[in-house]
């Protein structure tokens, strides 16, 4: 401890050495900050976590039959059949798997059409298997998609992992807002094309119905009236014939539910020859209706058939028409592909539209406004999904951080009744950010996947503020007592205080480092652990070197020996 | 023993130390805290992730025969405008389909769920008079995450070829009733079920040959498939005589022999024009399949089987671990019965077990960390000091757990991370106190002082700066409680528990550290053995 005391004492003695310490600290600070723009440290809200399960969503184009959907999903199942880490797989056709957190926001519970299927894949316990679930998904995704998606044209297969934190619709969501439905459909397809071409993005999907051919039976009202029928009757019989209806029920004491009686045309008699107008006409000509007089009238007599396009459903968000385009990230942070894709979009849309960026700073700052050069119609490309949540969270945590700074500052001002001393403590604790960023950079070297700076790292940093301000606080307090009660000279008092306080500071630091060591291995809270460990190391250096220098420079540190203090109250050892 | 001047206590730290130092109840308090903590740990509900108060709901309005554009104009737009009047809604999503439209609302995170549901229902009902004509009664469906997300799912499958899908369903349905009766089970659903149904598949060719229409067949079946209640008659002596018409349809044979028409004087039975079978719901395309490893060492999954999935969810605020255990217990009771029927099952989801594992794993980490810190302190301060500090950790955690239990929190990953995070911080107060005691014990004026006085003085001396420093850390945590959104909710256990742990750490450090030091530490006998530094 004597050594440290002497070391500090010498530094404080020379102006040049003091300046050296300050400059070195400043250099270290700016060098670490530069790690963000140079992408040496990457930011993400939450990293992926290895889980014992993941799910696969199969979507065939709107209007596909359950058999077509089944074909694609069976292909997926067959591909995974021989995976050694899969314990079981469940296929749910025409519906979602039992609801989970991911499905909750992805609309899994709303699925009830023939063109959807979901597969739940359960894996062996994550501790007993080498490959984490996210790497497994990354490996399987391209293989499965390549083989199975082409089976039914226009199908999409999505691999859905359990979110590490709160669930979101997708990593990247682009909302295409606009009044003109056809235009936003077109825009959303173009956006999807750009996203598909962007590196690091997978499972791109436009969340809109596909348009398919359908036939409209137009009732001829006059003919219907004259043949003694009604339009309602026509509708009912048609539905009864092809969709079937539960026409009656039987209650039973041996059966847990009522037994319905279901009336429908037999499979052979209702199946059409082909997907054509003629086939439909010939089918309905043999379907007869009975009029009030008991005469049979063929259905084809009272309606005529028209081929039309299906009308897709319309989505609104906050009272505006829009279409979602979603994409998942493939083991990378969503920030960088997003910026990439956004650049490409600006370039691509500049041909036909005037592209303007969202003015001002907000969590919608990446949004693009498009104005059609010819018609003047306005469209909006809004980034949502995990990116928006990330920005919101980082903004809020940033706010919390500033609030924490202000609160600490006020507390210190109340305690010391000096702005300068409080400022020194605050500056000292802020500098622990050097360690936080550097720690992530180092951690990235030791992990096989990218080690992201996450929301939990920020929480760690905020907690660090308090810890490192405690170090400086104890230091100042002690030096102050030494000067007041022992009448020590300032330079010596600071050196002695630093040396005496070094032990508890180091002890608590080691306690924090050891306490966080196990935290660092967790995928989600790893950021917090690393932030605490490396930040604490930095904080120790800052409080034992940088803070004493500032203290020596500060006029507010000039305490006169006071009479009131009890000499017995202070004891120095070692 | 009178000394020249007794030490004047200046801080709460000293006061606390003085009050509890010789108090016999101090040890009782310590034991009480530990027991409270242990009890809280074992009865607090466990879950993997903390609950996020997501509230929202959907309104479904049907209008048969309308196109999406029509639905948008008639239903979605006016409904969306009305829902804008509700306070606390973050986003409104409208969707117009053929024949129906849905409007769902998402409230800001943290909005009270019951209030949110009520407000939505209220707003829709208030405006019922503005409903357009030809629109069916709107359905208001609030989201309920606790009840909607099952904690357990089982896949039942037929081991025996003889068991068909309908029988499988019947047995699962019976089991569902039993499982739903388990304490704290909220909702159970059956997915992928095929139900029994009498299928009447009409041959169109025969229909025209007999000169019949579909409508006639429908009426014919409906006219016999009626249930009527028993009627009461009276005798002359005013006694009741009960009699009733037996249901005309008892089996699928009865359906087959329904007379649909008379043709040239002879009756035409339903079986003449249609294939009538006792089968399953052919119109239901929602099926479920299962593939699994039939034995442990199998290289690949077995063949595909059809299955019925039973999902079980729990009531809000109850312990997933206990509920899951209870349900599995019930299932085990029915094991023999199921085997006899030729039905097997596998557990495809068990959040209770997952929560328990996550919690236990972190508890293990917590214990390991405490041991590591204790070892470090043995080297830095000596083993007696190390024991003292190590004792304070469970005491602090016990207090924090107890407070968390009282405030209705659950034990989840984030709570335990909050503990792990605070672990490094909360030994600080104790370390600082013990270090100062240690220092005083080895100071040159040690033999002039009584042990009591020395301990109080050592505690009191660092009281003020430690209070301020701990307060500073607490202050950094407080703003985090105001972080909004899902992430804020997700992280909430950290700002809720860390400050409590820190405050507890102060009290424990001031009360128990001097107390235990008195019991465990002795003044060094070799006082003037080495010359002390400083001045």
Q: Residue A574's pLDDT is what?
A: 33
**Which range in A41-45, A119-123, B312-316, B390-394 is most confidently predicted, on average pLDDT?**
A119-123
Residue from A92, A515, A519 to probe the interface with B (highest B Cβ count within 10 Å)? A515
Q: Residue A1's pLDDT is what?
A: 62
Please give the sequence-ordered ranges of beta strands (E in DSSP) within A165-302, or none if there are none: 172-178, 201-207, 213-219, 245-250, 259-265, 288-290, 296-298
Give the residue with greater pLDDT, B375 vs A76: A76
Q: What is the pLDDT of residues A250-288, one digit of tens each?
A: 877 777 778 888 988 888 888 888 888 888 888 888 888
* Residue B462: closest CA among A9, A504, A77: A504
Contact B323, B351 (CB under 8 A): no
ipTM exceeding 0.85?
no
In this prediction, residue B527 has a pLDDT band, given cuts at 50, 70 and 90, of: very low
Q: Residue B526's pLDDT is what?
A: 52
**Weakest-pLDDT range from A157-166, A549-558, B494-503:** A549-558
Q: Chain B: give the shortest CA distance to residue A526, in Å.
A: 11
A82, A317, A389 member nearest B91 (Cβ):
A317
Query: From residue B115, how far is each of A402, B89, B121, B128, B142 by CA, in Å?
Result: 33, 12, 10, 20, 11
A263, A289, A466 member nearest B473 (Cβ):
A466
Residues of chain A contacting B84 with CB distance shorter than 8 Å? 319
Contact A544, A505 (CB under 8 A): yes
Q: Chain A: give the shortest CA distance to residue B532, in Å.
A: 6
- How far apart CA A83 and CA A143 sit, in angstroms, is 13
* Residue A428: closest CA among A459, A397, A471: A471
Contact A115, A64 (CB under 8 A): yes
**Contact criterion met (CB < 8 Å) for A311 and B67:** yes
Residues of chain B contacting A253 with CB distance shorter than 8 Å? none
CA B456 from centroid of its chain's CA atoms: 47
Q: What is the pLDDT of residues B30-47, one digit of tens each?
A: 889 889 989 988 888 888
Residue from B98, B475, B490, B506 to probe the interface with A (highest A Cβ count within 10 Å)? B475
Q: Is A353 left (phi over 0), alpha (psi -120 to 50) or beta?
A: beta
Residue A74 CB neighbour total at 10 angstroms: 18
Q: What is the pLDDT of residues A111-127, one digit of tens each?
A: 888 899 999 999 988 88
SS3 category, A133 = helix
**Weakest-pLDDT range from A177-191, A501-515, B78-92, B520-534:** B520-534
Residue from B354, B397, B421, B426 to probe the interface with A (highest A Cβ count within 10 Å)? B421
Residues of chain A contacting B216 with CB distance shorter than 8 Å? 290
B98, B373, B476 member nearest A311 (Cβ):
B98
Give the residue with greater pLDDT, A252 vs A406: A406
A94, A251, A568 member nearest B286 (Cβ):
A94
**Contact criterion met (CB < 8 Å) for A101 and B255:** no
**Contact criterion met (CB < 8 Å) for B205 and A100:** no
HEC secondary structure over A477-542: HHHHHHHHHHCCCHHHHHHHHHHHHHHHHHHHHHHHHHHHHCHHHCCCCHHHHHHHHHHHHHHHHH
Q: What is the mean pLDDT of chain A?
A: 84
**Contact criterion met (CB < 8 Å) for A571 and B195:** no
- How far apart CA B121 and CA B142 sit, in angstroms, is 9
Span B414-422, mean pLDDT?
Answer: 83
Q: Residue B5's pLDDT is what?
A: 52
Q: What is the pLDDT of residues A455-481, one digit of tens each?
A: 888 888 888 887 778 788 878 888 888
Span B381-389, mean pLDDT?
Answer: 81
Percentage of chain A surpassing pLDDT 90? 12
The answer, yes or no, to whether residue B162 has pLDDT greater than 60, is yes
In this prediction, residue A192 has a pLDDT band, given cuts at 50, 70 and 90, of: very high
B225, B377, B533 member nearest A574 (Cβ):
B533
Contact A533, A465 (CB under 8 A): no
For the entire predicted model, the pTM comes to 0.84
**Contact criterion met (CB < 8 Å) for A262 and B274:** no
A2, A290, A572 member nearest B215 (Cβ):
A290
- How far apart CA A418 and CA A410 sit, in angstroms, is 10
**Contact criterion met (CB < 8 Å) for B472 and A411:** yes
Q: Residue A325's pLDDT is what?
A: 92
**Contact criterion met (CB < 8 Å) for A404 and B204:** no
Q: Residue B532's pLDDT is what?
A: 40
């Amino acid at each position: 401890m004597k050594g440290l005391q002497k070391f500090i004492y010498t530094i404080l003695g020379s102006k040049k050495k003091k300046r050296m310490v300050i400059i070195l600290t400043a250099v270290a600070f700016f060098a670490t900050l530069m790690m963000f723009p140079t992408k040496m440290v990457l930011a993400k809200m939450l990293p992926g976590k290895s889980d014992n399960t993941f799910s696969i969503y199969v979507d065939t184009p709107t209007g596909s039959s359950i058999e077509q959907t089944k074909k694609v999903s069976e292909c997926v199942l067959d591909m995974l059949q021989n995976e050694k880490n899969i314990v079981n797989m469940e296929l749910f056709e025409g519906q979602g798997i039992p609801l989970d957190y991911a499905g909750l926001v992805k609309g899994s519970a709303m699925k009830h059409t023939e063109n959807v299927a979901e597969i739940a894949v359960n894996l062996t316990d994550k501790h007993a298997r080498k490959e984490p679930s996210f790497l497994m998904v990354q490996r399987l995704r391209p293989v499965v998609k390549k083989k199975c998606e082409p089976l039914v044209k226009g199908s999409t297969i999505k691999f859905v992992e359990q979110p590490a934190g709160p669930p979101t619709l997708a990593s990247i969501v682009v909302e295409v807002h606009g009044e003109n439905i056809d235009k936003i459909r077109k825009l959303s397809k173009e956006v999807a094309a750009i996203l598909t071409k962007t590196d690091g993005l997978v499972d791109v999907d436009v969340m809109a119905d596909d348009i398919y051919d359908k036939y409209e039976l137009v009732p001829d009202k006059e003919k219907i009236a004259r043949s003694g029928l009604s339009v309602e009757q026509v509708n009912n019989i048609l539905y009864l014939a092809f969709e079937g209806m539960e026409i009656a029920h039987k209650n039973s004491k041996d059966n847990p539910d009522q037994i319905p009686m279901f009336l429908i045309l037999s499979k052979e008699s209702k199946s059409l020859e082909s997907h054509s107008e003629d086939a439909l006409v010939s089918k309905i000509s043999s379907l007869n209706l009975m009029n009030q007089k008991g005469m049979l009238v063929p259905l084809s007599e009272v309606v005529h058939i028209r081929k039309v396009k299906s009308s897709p459903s319309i989505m609104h968000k906050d009272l505006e028409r829009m279409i979602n385009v979603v994409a998942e990230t493939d083991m990378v942070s969503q920030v960088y592909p997003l910026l990439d894709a956004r650049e490409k979009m600006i370039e691509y849309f500049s041909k036909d539209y005037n592209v303007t960026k969202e003015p001002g700073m907000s969590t919608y700052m990446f949004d693009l406004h498009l104005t059609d050069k010819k018609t003047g119609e306005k469209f909006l490309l809004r980034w949502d999904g995990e990116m928006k949540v990330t920005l919101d969270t980082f903004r809020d945590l940033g706010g919390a951080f500033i609030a924490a700074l202000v609160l600490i500052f006020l507390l210190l001002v109340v305690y010391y009744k000096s702005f300068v001393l409080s400022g020194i403590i605050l500056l000292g604790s802020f500098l622990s950010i050097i360690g936080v960023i550097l720690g992530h950079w180092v951690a990235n070297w030791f992990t096989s996947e990218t080690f992201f700076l996450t929301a939990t790292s920020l929480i760690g940093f905020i907690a660090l503020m308090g810890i490192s301000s405690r170090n400086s606080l104890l230091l100042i307090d002690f030096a102050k007592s030494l000067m007041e009660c022992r009448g020590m000279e300032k330079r010596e008092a600071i050196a002695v205080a630093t040396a005496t306080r070094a032990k508890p500071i180091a002890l608590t630091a080691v306690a924090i480092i050891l306490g966080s060591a196990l935290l660092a291995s967790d995928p989600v809270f790893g950021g917090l652990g690393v932030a605490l460990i490396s930040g604490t190391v930095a904080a120790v250096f800052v409080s034992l070197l940088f803070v004493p220098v500032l203290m020596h420079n500060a006029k507010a540190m000039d305490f006169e020996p006071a009479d009131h203090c009890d000499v017995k109250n202070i004891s120095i050892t070692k | 023993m009178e000394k020249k001047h007794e030490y004047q206590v200046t801080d709460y730290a000293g006061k606390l130390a003085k009050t509890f130092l010789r108090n016999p109840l101090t040890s009782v308090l310590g034991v009480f805290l530990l027991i409270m903590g242990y009890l809280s740990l074992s009865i607090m509900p466990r879950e993997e992730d903390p609950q996020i108060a997501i509230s929202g709901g959907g309104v479904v309005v049907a209008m048969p025969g309308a196109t999406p554009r029509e639905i948008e104009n008639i239903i979605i737009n006016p409904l969306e405008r009305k829902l804008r009047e509700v306070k606390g809604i973050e986003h409104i999503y409208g969707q117009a389909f053929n024949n129906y439209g849905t409007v769902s609302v998402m409230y800001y995170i943290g909005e009270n769920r019951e209030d949110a549901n009520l407000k939505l229902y209220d707003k829709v009902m208030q405006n019922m008079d503005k409903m357009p004509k030809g629109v069916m009664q709107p359905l208001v469906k609030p989201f309920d995450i606790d009840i909607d997300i099952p904690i357990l799912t089982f896949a039942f499958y037929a081991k025996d070829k003889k068991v068909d899908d309908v029988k499988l369903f019947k047995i699962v349905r019976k089991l569902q009733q039993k499982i739903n009766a388990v304490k704290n089970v909220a909702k159970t659903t059956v997915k992928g079920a095929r139900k029994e149904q009498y299928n009447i598949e009409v041959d169109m060719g025969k229909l025209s040959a007999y000169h019949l229409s579909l409508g006639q067949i429908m009426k014919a079946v409906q006219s016999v498939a009626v249930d009527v209640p028993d009627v009461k008659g009276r005798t002359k002596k005013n006694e009741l005589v009960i009699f009733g018409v037996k249901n005309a349809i008892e089996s699928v044979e009865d359906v087959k022999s329904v007379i649909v028409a008379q043709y040239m004087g002879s009756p035409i039975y339903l079986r003449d024009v249609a294939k009538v079978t006792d089968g399953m719901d052919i119109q239901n395309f929602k099926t479920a399949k299962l593939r699994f490893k039939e034995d442990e060492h199998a290289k690949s999954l077995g063949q595909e089987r059809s299955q019925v999935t039973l999902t079980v969810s729990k009531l809000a605020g109850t312990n997933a671990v206990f509920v899951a255990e209870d349900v599995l217990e019930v299932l085990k009771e029915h094991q023999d019965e199921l085997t006899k029927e030729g039905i097997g099952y596998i557990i495809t989801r068990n959040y209770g077990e997952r929560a328990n594992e996550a919690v236990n794993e972190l508890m293990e980490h917590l214990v390991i960390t405490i041991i590591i810190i204790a070892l470090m302190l043995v080297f830095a301060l000596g083993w007696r000091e190390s024991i003292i500090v190590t004792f304070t950790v469970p005491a602090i955690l016990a207090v924090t757990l107890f407070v968390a239990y009282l405030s209705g929190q659950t034990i989840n990953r984030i709570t335990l991370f909050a503990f792990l995070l605070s672990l490094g911080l909360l030994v600080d107060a104790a370390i600082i106190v013990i270090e100062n005691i240690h220092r005083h014990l080895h100071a040159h004026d040690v033999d002039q002082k009584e042990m009591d006085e020395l301990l109080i003085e050592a505690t009191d001396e660092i009281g003020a700066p430690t209070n301020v420093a701990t307060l500073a850390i607490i202050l950094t945590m407080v703003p985090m409680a105001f972080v909004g959104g899902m992430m804020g909710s997700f992280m909430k256990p950290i700002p809720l528990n860390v400050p409590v742990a820190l405050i507890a750490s102060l009290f424990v450090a001031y009360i128990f550290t001097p107390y235990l030091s008195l019991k465990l530490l002795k003044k060094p006998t070799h006082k003037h053995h080495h010359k002390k530094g400083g001045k």
